[in-house]
Amino acid sequence: MPGPICSLADTADETVEDLVMKVGRETQQPSPCPGVRLFLLNRRTLIIADRKWQESGVGHVAAINPTRSFLMLTLYHAPHSRSSRIVRLVLELGVLDQVEIRIVTIPRNDGSGAIDPANPHPEGKVPLLVHDEVEIWESNAIMLYLTDLFPDAGLGRSVGSPDRGSYLSWLAWYGNVVEPVIVCDAAGLSHPFLDATFRGVPEVVARLTGQLEKTPFLLGEQFSAADLLLVSPYVWFPQATPDVPIIRDWIARCQARPAAEAITDFDQAAVQA
Ligand SMILES: N[C@@H](CCC(=O)N[C@@H](CS)C(=O)NCC(=O)O)C(=O)O
């Protein structure tokens, strides 16, 4: 529990009506003391309202810049794993100071590591995002959640955007099709049911190529979280990269971004810590 009362930045008297118009929602954070309620006005401002304000409509109301604890966004991360792409997204969004990243262990393919009792993911996996006690799991769901929560960086597409449907489709296609196809291919598995359900690597390559022939990134001229997600298997598993120049160029464009190097440094530092 942080000490919000100690970090008041400014205060103002406002009516209940004024404030209720502005207040987003009450946080689920326990009140620091009797008669005081906490409201998140937006992700930059926390309102502390005391009993007098609540009863009379005029009283002590303080707006402060929240610390990460107020946002209560926690990301469970294992370095050099599928959660690295979520840390990269946090870096791309510029909100590292608003997400607490907890390093946990996972069982690794080489036999090292183990499920970490400190990781609340029901299967012990990463990534897991926890926001105000609600667990969000699966990389594409977490990416959608974070880009909706932090729209200013322009890495997602909000409801009402003409590209919202394409954005959701690329994110879902990654989880529903691309990962199963890449994993089955790497495992040397083939079966008519797999082909019928997911198709295969040539179809994945054709879909990516078809879009990248039209635009430099999947949603057009600008890099988005859809690129970050779709590029990720080729980043960890370069052997899976198709020998298609348009795809290789797209990967190079995505990896030329500062956050691509920053996540490598972040993971390296986390391993050495
Ligand atoms: N579809 C999930 C996959 C999550 C996943 O399998 N994560 C791996 C890390 S690369 C993991 O936690 N493995 C640990 C385990 O299997 O216990 C996602 O994309 O979030």
**d(Cα 111, Cα 113) in Å, to the nearest integer?**
7
CA atoms within 13 Å, Cβ hemisphere of 192: 0
Cβ(128)–Cβ(121) below 8 Å? yes
pLDDT value of residue 12: 47
Whether the pLDDT of residue 31 is over 60: the answer is no
Please indicate whether residue 185, judged by its CB atom, sits closer than 6 Å to ligand 1.
no
Cβ(90)–Cβ(99) below 8 Å? yes
**Pair 242, 120 in one domain:** yes
What is the sign of the dihedral through the CA atoms of 197, 201, 207 and 208? positive
**Pair 83, 156 in one domain:** yes
pLDDT value of residue 72: 76
The mean-pLDDT minimum among 3-12, 210-219, 242-251, 252-261 falls in 3-12
Q: For residue range 85-125, list pLDDT tens digits in order.
A: 999 999 999 989 889 999 999 999 999 999 999 999 999 99
**Pair 35, 92 in one domain:** no
**Pair 57, 168 in one domain:** no
**Pair 146, 169 in one domain:** yes
Read off φ and ψ for residue 63, nearest 5 degrees. Answer: -110, 130
Give the distance (Å) from ligand 1 centre to CA of residue 133. 21
Whether the pLDDT of residue 74 is over 50: the answer is yes
The maximal CA–CA distance of the chain, rounded, in angstroms, is 70
Q: Which atom in ligand 1 lies closest to the alpha carbon of residue 127?
A: 20
**Pair 35, 89 in one domain:** no
In a domain, 144, yes or no: yes
Q: Which atom in ligand 1 lies closest to the alpha carbon of residue 125?
A: 12
Give the distance (Å) from ligand 1 centre to CA of residue 17. 46
pTM of the model: 0.78
**Pair 192, 152 in one domain:** yes
What is the sign of the dihedral through the CA atoms of 238, 244, 247 and 252? positive
Q: pLDDT over 90 for what percent of the chain?
A: 69
Total domains in the fold of the chain: 2
CB proximity list for 52: less than 8 A, separation 6 or greater: 58, 59, 60
Instruction: Tell which one of 126, 140, 143, 144 to mutate to probe ligand 1, the residue whose CB is within 8 A of the most ligand atoms.
Output: 126
CATH number at residue 226: 1.20.1050.130
Q: Which of 32, 50, 67 is the C-terminal boundary of a domain?
A: 67
55-74 mean pLDDT? 56
Q: Which segment, 51-60, 62-71, 153-162, is predicted with the most confidence on average?
A: 153-162
In a domain, 272, yes or no: no
**Pair 48, 176 in one domain:** no
Residue, of 7 and 162, whose pLDDT is higher: 162
Q: Which of 16, 35, 67 is the C-terminal boundary of a domain?
A: 67
Whether the pLDDT of residue 84 is over 90: the answer is yes
In a domain, 193, yes or no: yes
Q: Which of 45, 67, 89 is the C-terminal boundary of a domain?
A: 67
- pLDDT-derived band at 154 (thresholds 50, 70, 90) equals very high
Please indicate whether residue 107, judged by its CB atom, sits closer than 6 Å to ligand 1.
yes
In a domain, 175, yes or no: yes
28-50 mean pLDDT? 54
**Pair 123, 187 in one domain:** yes
**Pair 50, 145 in one domain:** no
Nearest CA to ligand 1 atom 3: 138
**Pair 36, 78 in one domain:** no
Give the distance (Å) from ligand 1 centre to CA of residue 87. 14
Which residues form the domain of 44?
Answer: 4-67
